[in-house]
Amino acid sequence: MVQQCETASSTGEMNVLLADDDEINRLLLGGLADDLDIVLDCVEDGAAAVRALRRHAERYQLVLMDLQMPVQDGLSATREVRNELGLDIPIIALTASAQELENCRAAGMDGFLTKPVDISALQRLINHYRSRAGLTTSAIYDKLKLSTLELLHRASAGRLRNTVREAVIGCRQDFDLARQRWRDGDAASAAKLIHGYRGSLGTFARDEFIRRALELEHAVKQGEDGLEPLFDAFRAELDDLCAQLQDWLDRHAD
């Protein structure tokens, strides 16, 4: 049975079929459907995916296909879609091993994503196929932990907006203060301010932001010279993160 996991609010909706027997993966991607700007239908095995495409092939612009599933695996289901149904709909494998790439290609798949799925990689892939289908591409939040934001938003949307707004304002002020403290020779105070990012905006940020914060904090603590480029790089990362957070909150204002 096909279940609609989640519906996007976009008028230029893209319909995606997800075949995955793992309920956690279905819940995760279903919960992110609005951010991914898609309507997501879910089935639990390859045979159900083939049936859905046999009945409603015109509905979907993309299929996400797990490889290891009961009843019928993803490779076998893909071969049936290609050879018996004669469909050229894009099919992307979801697999825990990149070593499956050749098998995926041989079965007729168009690409693969490794598990656990990187959401920004999935966003880029969906935008690629949105563009091919003549649909408007959606925003890519490659700096954000979308699953964390979704969880907190569902728990208390109002509190999340206020918390993030205060964190963005505070972190920008702290950055300017940290840089000035470092220029004044107060490395300890500067490092303490930078350390705070991991407990504020770091909650919503992906690994690159955390890495840059740690790198800058360590360099300041060590009293290294010539740190202006490092401060500039971190400020650019901070600005990108804050801009994406604001855009995400604006989209979820209701």
Alpha helices for 8-112 (secondary structure H): 23-31, 33-36, 46-56, 74-83, 101-107
Continuous segment of H or E residues that includes residue 111: strand 111-114
- Hey, what are 7's tokens? 């519906």
- Hey, what are 152's tokens? 């907190």
User: Which of 80-84, 186-190, 196-200, 223-227 comes out lowest in average pLDDT?
Assistant: 196-200
Residue 110 has pLDDT above 90, yes or no: yes
Q: What is the pTM of this model?
A: 0.64
Give the three-state DSSP class for 113: strand
Say what percent of the chain tops pLDDT 90: 42
Under DSSP, the state recorded for 135 is P
Give the three-state DSSP class for 62: strand
Q: Looking up tokens 């563009």, which residue turns up?
A: 131
Nearest to 129 by CA among 9, 253, 251, 15: 15
- Dmax (CA) for the chain in angstroms is 72
The mean pLDDT value for 105-125 works out to 88
Terminal CA-CA length for the chain: 32
Strand order across the beta sheet in which 62-66 lies: 3-6, 38-43, 14-19, 62-66, 91-95, 111-114
Q: Phi first, then psi: what are they for 250, rounded to 5°? A: -60, -40
**pLDDT band, very low/low/confident/very high, at 44 (cuts 50, 70, 90):** very high
Burial 156-192 (b: 16+ CB within 10 A, else e): eeeebeeebeebbeebeebbeebbebbeeeebebbbb
Q: ∠ CA(28), CA(246), CA(252), 5° rounding?
A: 50
Q: What is the pLDDT of residues 130-162, one digit of tens each?
A: 888 888 777 777 778 777 777 777 777 778 778
Q: What is the pLDDT of residues 10-40, one digit of tens each?
A: 445 799 999 999 888 888 888 788 778 899 9
Cα 206 from Cα 144, distance rounded (Å) = 5
Cβ atoms < 10 Å from Cβ of 17: 25
Cβ atoms < 10 Å from Cβ of 112: 22
